Homo-oligomer: A and B are copies of this chain.
Amino acid sequence: MELCFQRIRSTSRFDKAQHRLCQLPKGHNGNHDEFPYLRHLQKTNPTVAAKIKRDATMTTGAAWKSDDAGPNRILRWMMILSDEELLRYGVNMAALSEQVVAKLREKAANYDACMRVARKLAWFAYQMPRAPIPPEPIQTYLENFYGPINSHSAYCLVCRQPLEFNLFANARRGKADVETAHSNPRIHDDNNVGFAHRACNIAQGAKTLPEFYAWIRDILNRVDASHSS
């Protein structure tokens, strides 16, 4: 499927650095749209649609301790720009602590990758048990990229247990029980993302999934050895 990729007009100062592009099929009718496959979730489950957009395109928030600690969230593709370029957009990286800069920079991803991530996350969300059924055009659009949407077939990226759609709503201390997760936390692209239980995502931490599995396997080997000795 070829996409339209026409520039979408925006008044955000950041969108001068990277134009937002229409993701509808080439030759579509009607207005350009950056997230056409989210139109349905925006109506049925607006917080889920907003979460998919946010996780796909923004750096994660940190518990910044002070106002001068920097932006809580910023567009991931801005984090590809040099400090000098960012200054022109009013983002002064030099004013941030080394740790905050590292945390922001490690979330860098180009615009196209972020768009692919949002699309893949929408495809995943529709596969969760208890997810709404997508309208046919959205289903066709998403399946064109990632294959059949089998409802009730979504698993946690980390623990491989089923992941129910209603976990999005279970807010706990302001956090949903399901989070966007990365097989390799340093790569933000559609072949590397999925959803995971919050506890699983936290346990994985900065490790890749293979590193995480090797780590817990070693832990169990040591625990088992100490019990049998």
| Residues in A lying within 8 Å of B, measured CB to CB | 63, 99, 103, 158-161, 172-174, 199, 202-203, 205-206, 213, 215-220, 222-223, 226
Contact B222 A160 (CB under 8 A): yes
Query: Closest 7 CB pairs between A and B?
Result: A63-B63, A203-B203, A216-B216, A160-B222, A159-B219, A99-B173, A199-B205
Closest to A226 in B: B160
Question: Given A202-B205, A203-B205, A205-B202, is A213 in contact with B222 using a C-beta cutoff of 8 Å?
Answer: no
A218 to B220, CA, bound (A): 11
Contact A213 B205 (CB under 8 A): no
Q: A99-B174, A160-B226, A203-B205 are in contact. List 19 more A-B contacts (CB 8 A).
A: A63-B63, A99-B173, A103-B173, A159-B215, A159-B218, A159-B219, A159-B222, A160-B222, A160-B223, A161-B222, A199-B205, A199-B206, A202-B203, A203-B203, A213-B219, A213-B220, A213-B223, A216-B216, A216-B219
What residues of chain B lie closer than 8 Å to A222, measured between beta carbons? 159-161
A159 to B203, CA, bound (A): 13
A-B contact pairs, 19 of them (CB 8 A): A63-B63, A99-B172, A99-B173, A103-B173, A159-B215, A159-B218, A159-B219, A160-B219, A160-B223, A160-B226, A199-B205, A199-B206, A202-B203, A203-B205, A213-B219, A213-B223, A216-B219, A217-B220, A220-B220
